[in-house]
Amino acid sequence: MFSIERFAGAYALCEDGDGRRVKLLRSALPADAREGDLILWEGAWRIDGTATAARRAQLEKRTAGLKKPEKLV
Amino acid sequence: MRARRAVGWLLLALVAAALFLGAWRYGGSLLEGIESFRRSLRPSEPLAVTVIDVGQGSAALVQAGDTDLLIDCGERSSADRLCSELAASGVKRLSAVVVTHLHTDHFGGLVDLLGRFPVDEVILPDTPAELLPTNKTYERLLDALETTGTPCTVQTKPQTRPLSEDAALTFLNGFLAAPGEINDTSLTLRIDCGGVSFLITGDGERTVEARLLETGALVSADVYVAGHHGSNSSSGQSFLNAVRPVASAVSAGRGNDYGLPSAAVLDRLAAFGPVYRTDVSGSVRFVTDGVTIRVRAAGIDDELTPREG
């Protein structure tokens, strides 16, 4: 499974589960593919909406839990 | 051969003398001498902004007085290059690292930087949950922030922070109510020192530029670091007419696959003044006393006069 990191020109820059960069042609992806979508190959690229939502929820929770400054400047 | 060896010994003697003098001046150990020598590498002018060559990505070091602040960190694969450049610029500790937006070519280098330099604070863009990255590099950034216990602030509104007695950093109001993609969350930063100003827009595209104009944000600046690596999706003509830079910088990777910077943007920027490119000249250092601007890069040593008024 790959995560779409961003779109750049004709490419979708993706990462695999180890953080390795994989460059795909944007035109090969579903038209509604968005940054952050997790995609998998099943003869064609498919967005895994359930896995995407679960991954986002997990990282959102960790983002919200980051240490805050003791005193805001 | 003999002459070359003599020059080598002379250089070595000079470095040793600098270390000795530093130790003597600070009345301390050789290590303190080394530290004073490193400090001597710091700019003596009130403000230096270095657009660091991190390949296809962005990173800019802001040095004002005792404050060292980094805006973006390039890709993780460029972390060694970034950290070397910080060390060569005399950085020992970063007061803050600002991540303009959560794309890996802007935050990736922070993953490894956090283990190599003390960072007092990381300032993150306000990113809605539905736009948060899901990639491994972001997870590793969270790992690094948690492990080091680095305090994090989410920048949600315009704000000015002093950098030194002479310089200040301002987050301008380019905040979109409903960002549709990560570039829309890009923070826009302005740095002022005396009569000289810098503008850095991250990967903010025309929607962010329109918002900045709509809110009346003070975007006019002497040096403009072109948005989105010089992509034609940024640096629109109406925005540039408001910025009116006397010079611009573009951070892009040599021979990148994305055609950046765009020829159209280069033309638009060149109509206002010289354009300095990291893909052509490597890192570009702007140093100012608040009155004039000195630009240094490989093969470049220019002096610019800021725009009046």
Residues B226-237: pLDDT tens digits?
A: 999 999 999 999
Q: B17-21, B75-79, B127-131, B296-300 — which is least confidently predicted?
A: B17-21
What pLDDT does B2 receive? 57
Res B27 pLDDT > 50: no
Q: Where are the domains of chain B?
A: 2-40, 47-304
Amino acid at B110: L
Q: Kindly state whether A40 is in contact with chain B, defined as any CB-CB distance less than 8 angstroms.
A: no
What pLDDT does A11 receive? 95
What pLDDT does B45 receive? 82
Enumerate residues 6+ apart whose C-beta is below 8 A from B228.
B183, B201, B202, B203, B204, B205, B234, B235, B260
Q: Kindly state whether A25 is in contact with chain B, defined as any CB-CB distance less than 8 angstroms.
A: no
Q: What is the mean pLDDT of chain B?
A: 91
What pLDDT does A71 receive? 63
Enumerate residues 6+ apart whose C-beta is below 8 A from B244.
B220, B221, B272, B307
Q: What is the mean pLDDT of residues B136-148?
A: 98
Res B11 pLDDT > 80: no
pLDDT digits (tens, 9 = 90+) for B271-291: 999 999 999 999 999 999 999
Q: What are the distances in angstroms from CA B178 to CA B9, B124, B171, B182, B227?
A: 63, 17, 18, 11, 20
| In chain A, beta strands by DSSP E | 2-8, 11-15, 21-25, 38-41, 45-47
Contact (CB, 8 A) for B194 and B306: no
Quickly name the fold that domain B47-304 has: Metallo-beta-lactamase; Chain A (3.60.15)
Q: Using the beta-carbon criterion (under 8 Å), do A19 and B131 form an inter-chain contact? A: no
Enumerate residues 6+ apart whose C-beta is below 8 A from B82.
B52, B54, B59, B73, B74, B109, B113
Q: A42-46, B29-33, B124-128 — which is least confidently predicted?
A: B29-33
Q: Phi, psi at residue B141, to the nearest 5°?
A: -65, -45
Query: What percent of chain B has a predicted confidence (pLDDT) above 70?
Result: 85
CB atoms within 10 A of CB B161: 14
Place of tokens 């802001």: B62
Q: Using the beta-carbon criterion (under 8 Å), do A72 and B132 form an inter-chain contact? A: no
Closest CA to A73 of B174, B168, B113, B104: B168
Which of B114, B122, B132, B135 has the highest number of chain A CBs within 10 A, making it the mutation to test binding with A? B135
- Measured distance CA(B110)–CA(B61) in Å, rounded: 13
Residues in chain A predicted with pLDDT less than 50, given as ranges, are: 72-73
Predicted ipTM? 0.96
Q: Kindly state whether A46 is in contact with chain B, defined as any CB-CB distance less than 8 angstroms.
A: no
Using alpha carbons only, give the angle B284, B258, B55 rounded to the nearest 5 degrees.
Answer: 30
pLDDT digits (tens, 9 = 90+) for B36-77: 454 455 656 899 999 999 999 999 999 999 999 999 999 999
Say which residue, B132 or B3, is predicted with more confidence: B132
Res B28 pLDDT > 50: no
Closest CA to B199 of B236, B170, B179: B170
Res B116 pLDDT > 60: yes
State how far residue B148 is from chain A, nearest Cα, in angstroms. 10
What pLDDT does B114 receive? 98
Element (H, E) at B48: strand B47-51
Q: B35-44, B100-109, B246-255 — which is least confidently predicted?
A: B35-44
Res B292 pLDDT > 60: yes
Q: Ramachandran region of residue B259, left (φ > 0), alpha (ψ -120 to 50) or beta?
A: left
Q: Kindly state whether A35 is in contact with chain B, defined as any CB-CB distance less than 8 angstroms.
A: yes
Amino acid at B46: P
Enumerate residues 6+ apart whose C-beta is below 8 A from A68.
B151, B152, B153
State how far residue B304 is from chain A, nearest Cα, in angstroms. 33
- Measured distance CA(B242)–CA(B6) in Å, rounded: 56
Res B244 pLDDT > 80: yes
